[in-house]
Amino acid sequence: MLKNDRWIKERADAGMIQPFEDHLVRHLEPETSSAPVLSFGCSSYGYDLRLSSQEFLIFRHVPGTVMNPKRFNPANLEPAPLHEDIDGAFFILPAHSYGLGVAMEKLRVPPNITVICLGKSTYARLGIIVNTTPAEAGWEGHLTLEFSNSSGADCRIYANEGICQLLFFEGDPCDTTYQDRAGKYQDQPERVTLARV
């Protein structure tokens, strides 16, 4: 069953999402409707995560190398600088490239819940695809987020603003949670976590 805003708020009070916004934030100064942001916070049936400003890495082409998930080479990544102007803080994801960022919020997934992450329509309309794997029952940490720029233009990816939406699905209790089996991506910090085997 897909969980609603009441459930998300109750679980957030118990520490499931930190920091937590109990409504969708669309303006940093709501009284004046100024400083618009890509929305973040609790929605009807989900939660819009923010991209952390801590780190954003872009894959670069290294001639003669082949990516190998069993022997990941961090030399294939380069840090993207954080820029800032009147629209906010942002990273630039070049055309036809792939990048890694990390969620600002820390998650503590309950033992009977699996979390699915989907991209936001504002970015999807620019050709940005958010590809995040599920957060399994019992998983804790800051999600590493993956971005593909399928467009022919460079794109701003705003930090400290909404980047993707989490959907919370409840299932029958499982025998072994991600935490029970000491999964390799447990307790990810607010930094990009690279591929592990």
Write the pLDDT tens digit of every residue in 139-165: 999 999 999 999 999 999 999 999 999
Q: What's the rounded mean pLDDT across residues 29-35? A: 67
Question: Tokens representing 110?
Answer: 């309950």
Q: What element of type H or E holds 75? A: none
- State the CATH class of domain 5-170: mainly beta
What is the model's pLDDT at position 95? 96
Q: Are 91 and 100 in contact (CB under 8 A)?
A: no
pTM over 0.85: yes
Q: Is the pLDDT of residue 33 over 70?
A: no
Q: What's the rounded mean pLDDT across residues 49-68? A: 90
Residue 146 known to be catalytic: yes
Instruction: Give the pLDDT band (50/70/90) at residue 32.
Output: low
Q: How many angstroms separate the CA atoms of 145 and 61, rounded?
A: 20
Q: Are 108 and 115 in contact (CB under 8 A)?
A: no
Q: Which of 31, 84, 136, 146 is catalytic?
A: 146
Q: What's the rounded mean pLDDT across residues 167-185? A: 89
Cβ contacts of 105 within 8 Å, gap of 6 or more = 17, 18, 19, 20, 49, 50, 142
